[in-house]
Structure 1
Amino acid sequence: MTENMETLSLLLLTMLLMVRNCADGTYRGALAEQVGEVVGQVVEQHLSECHLVLVDTTTQSPVFSTMIRQLMRSGLGVTVLEAWWVFFQSQPARDLLLERLWGDATLTCCALLIHLDNKIITNILTFKFLEWCELWRHPQTVVVAVGGTAGMEAVLLDHNLRNTVYALYLTLQNLTLHSLDSRQGPLHNTRLGRGGTTKEGEGAHVRVYGRCLYCNKGEAQVQLLHRGNLTSGLHGVNLFPDQMENFWGHTFRAVTLRYMPFINYEQDGAEPGTPRTPLDSLNIRMLDIIASHFNFTYEIREPWDMNWGTPAGGGNWTGIVGTLQHEQADFSLDLTVTASRSLVVDYSRVYSNDPIVIITLKPAPLPRNLALTRPFEGEVWMSVIVCTLALGIILWLQQKVWSWAASESRVRLIPAFLNSWAMLLMEPVETIPTNTTGQVLVGWWLLSCVIITTAYRSSLIAHLSVQSKYPPINTFQDLLNQDGWSWGSTDLQGTFYLYFNESSDPDLQAILRGIEIYEMDKGLERVMQGGFSFIHTQSYVTPEMARLYTDKFGNTPLYIGIMKYLAFGGNAWGFRKGAPFTRQISMMKERLIEAGLLNLWQDDVLKTYLKHSREERGREDPLLFTG
């Protein structure tokens, strides 16, 4: 029903547009040629390597035809599109149009050339078209509008252009595109220049206005870039000045959650969504450097649901990801890169890989009373016993056959067994076979016994010198193989939730089914009681281990498994889709990474944090290992 009403309203809008154009009369051919010449100069000098899309929001306009001829005369390819026609196509046709609208990926840029006549009806259609094509997702797309002076500010300051870095508006001074009358009146914005009248015969003057995203004390502003006669042209005029090196004090909205050592702020009990006071941490140090370089300020807030971001159904997300998705914040300071999140959030370069690890008590020593059996594994002991018994039987059978053939006294079974054990224990043997075959067999067994006993004695000395311990828990498989063992983690949010719930690994599914939920300090306390493992990211759990369970010499009873489970693509800063400042902030952050400052800052942040924490607890600062 809603789609039908929208289509009907657009149909009525188009009918009104056609009736209004017919009532306005004809265009003057000289003016149409002048407009086409101005557009051609802009394209030839600045947009010759771009994918060009010429959008008409009027009907029956000779100016539009002139613009097409001028561009074709310049030898440039152009895609022509009538805005009103888009809304009467089927959804598959719209999707195909949208794909072609943004052009060939091999071209360096894309430019929209929009023809306006600055009537209310036309402006409504223009803004509807810009919303449909999701211009806000493409901040580097150049927008060039051609129209009268009256609607210039409404177009350049429209919400659909909120992310557009380069937006121009070309107009002829005191001349409308239709009747060349003086209905537009003078401009009242002193920043744009005072309006005036052009006497008959002086000729048309062109004015080029641009949108500056942050020039008005951090807010968007319309600026006059050029004013001159058409005959002088636009040669040498800088229509696209670099405006992304200075944000003029703009206040960016950052959304994040506390995550030491990466993010820290005062937790004063205020409601989620209220500004937080940042404290010393890795991301805050980076952000302060970047803010100083680009001249902007920032506010840090928590997401309303205190979540990192998980799918909420219907294409929506919770937490930090949802806040960025709905443009309630500009960027986040720390967000794990995943394929599903990338559909609604842009990322900067990954600056840290924070793996998931298993924390347990350090392995306990093995019992001393089993030290005599520890030099050999069970399989080796079984082989020695079987070989010794087999040798006794073989010697008994061999001697029995020999005594029968030589008419000697027979050898009994028990002494044969005892002789084989005596040789193994390096004890003297009272009776040795008299035949050659038996002597060779005994000789080989004596040699084997020397090798076995030598290996046993050397291994026994080593085990008595260094006390052996139970094998540590390094992997999830080790965890599942433990009898009577349990494990836990903090509340499964964000990456934890995605890592375990989206995995088809049977080990991860078994871990998920048995996981218990604890706060960080309670979970580590549970580990100290034994028979329990805590699962978390290494960077987050290491400071808490050092703060709570590490002495001044760096000794801790806790053990971190050597297996590091990398969760997705690492940690980066997340940006709302289409943010025009993503590239600049990302490049500056990359310079900090390549300078090697992040590792230095992270170690310093951890040491400072632990020092303050232990001073508050009345304990000495431990020796910190950050390798």
Structure 2
Amino acid sequence: MHEKVVVCLLLVLLDHFAVGNFISDTAEKVNESADITDENLAKVMYLLADEYTPQCLWVVMSDNTLRQQPWRHSHLTLDPKEGKSTIDYINKNTERVTLFSCFTFLMTRPPDSSLMPLLTDSSNMQLTRYFIIQFLNESEAHEFLLDERLIDEENVAALVKTDTRRDSYGIMIRQLFHSSGSTQVLFVNRWEKGKGFDNSDNIFPEQMKNFYGTKMRGVTLDFRPFTDYYKVRGSRVVIPKPSLDVFMLEVIADTLNFTYELVMPEDGLWGYLKDDGHWVGVVGDVEFRRANFSLVLSLTLERIFSVDFTRIYYNDPLSFVTAKSRPSPPWLKLIKPFSSGVWLLALLSIVTGVILYYIIYRAQALLGTYYLVPSRAFMHIFGAFVNQSLFTIPWLSSGRGVPYRKTFDSVMAYCLQAGLIDKWERDLYSIYLKEAQDNKTPLQKKKEKMEADAKRNDGQVVLNLNHLQGPFLILLLGSASGVLLLLLEFVIARMFFAFPVSSRELPKINGLSPFNQKTLMSNGPHTPSPGGVVSGFDEKGNYVIRAVVKGN
């Protein structure tokens, strides 16, 4: 695996002229007894990276301090001034380095203004990023950790030399959400030469499981049953009413310990893309961080380049809608919604789709995928024809690269698995039904009650032929199918099976066979005609039709 990584990253460097080198995975471990300050810094960074990010690709960015140190891990060494093209390539081609699940940047100085946008590129969040950076003093580290450009970076640690004589380093991190309501910088550990670390606390703790009561803002528009609210006069802030997204948001807020307020967009739009590449409306508020998230926002190709979407929790099936027909005979209701041309086109589409679907899966079966029988292919295509569950409504969108999207997804997954979505739908049905009844006048309620009593009629309905036209039509179709099958069997029997009785089996008596004589006698005392057609049962019980030839 390491050889593949080396080849891949070597191509990156050659293509983009980035200065750096690869050091073999079999290199010797950092010398623990070294007295050189550079080696002590390399040792601290190595121990931290090896303890907390062993699964990551290490990117060592240093002038000369760390580039010549032996690292016992697959890594890439870059000069901060000349390695920008390599970082840019990694951001744009993340799938080329999928052997690793994350990156760890080890830096001897904070990134400059030209390198910072590349390291914190919010459009490249497929892989987790970790930062371990050395600073000259605490004030410089404190200022960097509170930099707004790092607002979406969850895993940042600063190394500060606290005692030159003892070669000790302090480790500082930031807590994005704090009970004080603002981001805080914390000292979490200290390393001293000859003693090691003071404690084993994680320098990259999970920060998105407790928001410490932070107030967040969501933006949305009224779209029942997903979002519903009361408007407040003279304010964009709205009061949420029972709806699917509000139920989900309540569970997430309670689990992650935050409060929220919902607002309407200033322009009252869902959002569209302007000529300058930015959005307005709900999407624009999320893109420019005027809101932390939005409710009910459909996923489109254009929007995914500006905002992130959570998991989808509700499917909105599509169906055909036709105008309500005028009164007509009930038996026509089976075929009347569409013309004969539409029915024929639908039938041809299904047949063509089944054939193509079957051919595709047969071709895939040659590559090792599962085999698809024709009946299964028909059920797939016909099922898609009568009920297409294609359009999906995700619940939430957020700015690109926000760190709390994954925790929102996990809580939503628990709600789905617990069956809360179905429960909330039933609750909303009861709520909306009650609202509809409350909005009716007493006269309307009385009229509806009278109509219901009249329709009920003690629960008895007198059936007539008009009610039974549908069943009779189905019976007729079944009978016609049976007759056609019977005729088909008869034709096949006449074509492929021999006649059961041979004339040689019936001897002649007085010019007539026993069969003819028996048949005529059973019909009465009539003289047999010299010619004609007679029929009857022979000695074996077979019913036979015989032609009597003249003179025989």
Q: TM-score, normalised by structure 2?
A: 0.60
The one of 187, 197, 219 aligned to 1:255: 219
The one of 129, 150, 153 aligned to 2:139: 150
Aligned-partner Cα distance in 2 for 1:101–1:54: 18
What is the match of residue 97 of structure 2?
A: 104
The one of 290, 305, 309 aligned to 1:328: 290
Secondary structure at the aligned position of 1:305 is classed as: coil
Q: Could you say if the C-alpha distance between residues 260 and 100 of structure 1 is closer, same or farther in structure 2, counting changes exceeding 3 Å?
A: closer
What is the match of residue 206 of structure 1?
A: 169
CA shift, 1:330, in A, is 1.8
Q: Could you say if the C-alpha distance between residues 332 and 171 of structure 1 is closer, same or farther in structure 2, counting changes exceeding 3 Å?
A: same
What is the match of residue 415 of structure 2?
A: 592
Q: Is the Cα–Cα contact under 8 Å of residues 304 and 319 in structure 1 kept in the other structure?
A: yes
Alignment deviations for residues 333-376 of structure 1 (CA, whole Å, 9 cap, x no partner): 2111223322222122211122455666642212xxxxxxxxxx
Q: Any residues of structure 2 matched to 1:429-578 within 5 Å, and which?
A: 568-578=391-401
The answer to whether the aligner puts 1:132 opposite 2:125 as a matched pair is no
Of structures 1 and 2, the one with the larger relative CO (CA 8 A, separation 6+) is 1
The one of 274, 282, 293 aligned to 2:255: 293
Q: Is the Cα–Cα contact under 8 Å of residues 278 and 284 in structure 1 kept in the other structure?
A: yes
Secondary structure at the aligned position of 2:77 is classed as: strand
Aligned-partner Cα distance in 2 for 1:230–1:472: 88
The answer to whether the aligner puts 1:74 opposite 2:71 as a matched pair is yes
> Which amino acid is 2:413 matched to?
E
The answer to whether the aligner puts 1:48 opposite 2:54 as a matched pair is yes
> Which amino acid is 1:301 matched to?
V
CA shift, 1:583, in A, is 0.4
Q: Is the Cα–Cα contact under 8 Å of residues 52 and 111 in structure 1 kept in the other structure?
A: yes
Q: Any residues of structure 2 matched to 1:303-314 within 5 Å, and which?
A: 303-314=265-276
CA shift, 1:86, in A, is 5.6
The one of 229, 232, 255 aligned to 1:268: 232
Paired residues in the alignment total 368
**Which structure 2 segments of 5+ residues have no match?**
1-33, 346-384, 453-552
Q: Could you say if the C-alpha distance between residues 173 and 126 of structure 1 is closer, same or farther in structure 2, counting changes exceeding 3 Å?
A: same
Aligned-partner Cα distance in 2 for 1:270–1:264: 18
Q: Is the Cα–Cα contact under 8 Å of residues 53 and 80 in structure 1 kept in the other structure?
A: yes
Aligned-partner Cα distance in 1 for 2:79–2:195: 32
Aligned-partner Cα distance in 1 for 2:337–2:128: 51
Q: Could you say if the C-alpha distance between residues 96 and 361 of structure 1 is closer, same or farther in structure 2, counting changes exceeding 3 Å?
A: closer
What's the % identity of the aligned pairs? 24
> Which amino acid is 2:200 matched to?
G
Alignment deviations for residues 496-529 of structure 1 (CA, whole Å, 9 cap, x no partner): xxxxxxxxxxxxxxxxxxxxxxxxxxxxxxxxxx
Alignment deviations for residues 528-562 of structure 1 (CA, whole Å, 9 cap, x no partner): xxxxxxxxxxxxxxxxxxxxxxxxxxxxxxxxxx9
Q: Could you say if the C-alpha distance between residues 222 and 69 of structure 1 is closer, same or farther in structure 2, counting changes exceeding 3 Å?
A: same
The one of 419, 428, 446 aligned to 1:605: 428
What is the match of residue 45 of structure 2?
A: 39
Q: Any residues of structure 2 matched to 1:389-408 within 5 Å, and which?
A: none
Aligned-partner Cα distance in 2 for 1:308–1:356: 21
Q: Could you say if the C-alpha distance between residues 94 and 293 of structure 1 is closer, same or farther in structure 2, counting changes exceeding 3 Å?
A: closer
Secondary structure at the aligned position of 1:336 is classed as: coil
**Which structure 1 segments of 5+ residues have no match?**
1-27, 57-63, 117-122, 176-200, 367-462, 482-561
CA shift, 1:283, in A, is 1.0
What is the match of residue 406 of structure 2?
A: 583
What is the match of residue 428 of structure 1?
A: none
Q: Is the Cα–Cα contact under 8 Å of residues 309 and 320 in structure 1 kept in the other structure?
A: yes
Q: TM-score, normalised by structure 1?
A: 0.53
Q: Is the Cα–Cα contact under 8 Å of residues 110 and 141 in structure 1 kept in the other structure?
A: yes
Q: Could you say if the C-alpha distance between residues 469 and 74 of structure 1 is closer, same or farther in structure 2, counting changes exceeding 3 Å?
A: closer
CA shift, 1:474, in A, is 8.1
Secondary structure at the aligned position of 2:117 is classed as: helix
RMSD: 3.4
CA shift, 1:471, in A, is 6.3
The answer to whether the aligner puts 1:65 opposite 2:71 as a matched pair is no
Alignment deviations for residues 404-459 of structure 1 (CA, whole Å, 9 cap, x no partner): xxxxxxxxxxxxxxxxxxxxxxxxxxxxxxxxxxxxxxxxxxxxxxxxxxxxxxxx
